[in-house]
Amino acid sequence: MYSKLKWNYKVDKLANKVALVTGASKGIGAAIAKQFAAEGAKVVVNYASSKEGADRVVQAITENGGRAISVKGDVSNPEDIVRIFEETKNAFGGLDILVNNAGIYQYEPIEQVSAETFHEQFNINVLGSILAIQGSLKLFGEAGGSIINISSEAGKTPLPTGSVYSATKAALDAITISLSKEFSGKNIRINSILPGVVETEGSRSAGFIGSEAERKLVASTPLGRTGQPDDIAKVAVFLASEDAAWITGEKISVSGGIYGL
């Protein structure tokens, strides 16, 4: 006999899990932190400088009965990384899920690319992810873990003036595939999510939202709109959960079906 009314209860997909989301003070990272908490995870909300934004995310989580802390730290700084993981361990005892979301994007013609803008984007988007993955390996327990790299459609189909940014995301996807094999036998899954254009504080301040370029992209998007942070966050929940227990080394586009972005 099946247990009575079992189907009536919502099962928290991330119950008893601890998750660290880098760059979670706003945008896609904030949405992921909130969706993770809504599914039962204890969440570390990392940020670089926007303490107020991070505290708002923590407050939204705790007001809904969840648990979260905010931790300041630049993911490209090895000392900050050590502290972020120490604070994670002190607060929640370990780690099960890492989301490498912190990232910056700068579109500029090749003539304007400088060593500074190159290193800034590679340091945060690529080195920062590597350092965070190294930190997570020390905290994942016997049961393994799940790592989600927030990459971009731009890494797969680069746009003009996005050579360096696209290169950082293509590099991140290569890291996803390489490490999925390197982690063989450890039950550590690692996957990339490739968002299309998503309306965030970052894409708004870059001038993209409301621009002619956005209108053109939406016009060639089968699902006919710009993405919202929750579109990405729901897929992150899936990849972090047991529902994705047999998925690793994948690059999953979440972009309304746009091809040739």
Applying CB under 6 A, the residues found at the interface with ligand NAP are: 22-29, 46-50, 53, 74-76, 101-105, 124, 128, 150, 152, 195, 197-198, 200-203
Q: Please say which residue, 30 or 38, places its beta carbon nearer to ligand NAP.
A: 30
Clarify whether 165 is annotated catalytic. Answer: yes
Q: Which amino acid is at 230?
A: D
**From the CB of 4, what's the least distance to ligand NAP, in Å?**
43
**From the CB of 185, what's the least distance to ligand NAP, in Å?**
29
Which two structure tokens, joined as six digits, stand for 131? 């350092």
Out of 105, 107, 165, 259, the active site residue is 165
Query: Are residues 185 and 142 in contact, defined by beta-carbon separation less than 8 angstroms?
Result: no
Instruction: State the sign of the Cα–Cα–Cα–Cα dihedral 160, 164, 167, 168.
Output: negative
**From the CB of 187, what's the least distance to ligand NAP, in Å?**
26
| H helix or E strand, kind and range, residue 193 | strand 188-195
Q: Please say which residue, 8 or 205, places its beta carbon nearer to ligand NAP.
A: 205
**From the CB of 162, what's the least distance to ligand NAP, in Å?**
11
Crossing angle of helices 163-182 and 128-139, in 10° steps, is 20
For residue 143, give the DSSP letter: T
Q: Please say which residue, 65 or 74, places its beta carbon nearer to ligand NAP.
A: 74
Residues 6+ apart with CB under 8 A from 24: 30, 32, 33, 43, 45, 46, 47, 54, 57, 99, 101
Q: Please say which residue, 12 or 214, places its beta carbon nearer to ligand NAP.
A: 214
Catalytic residues: 165
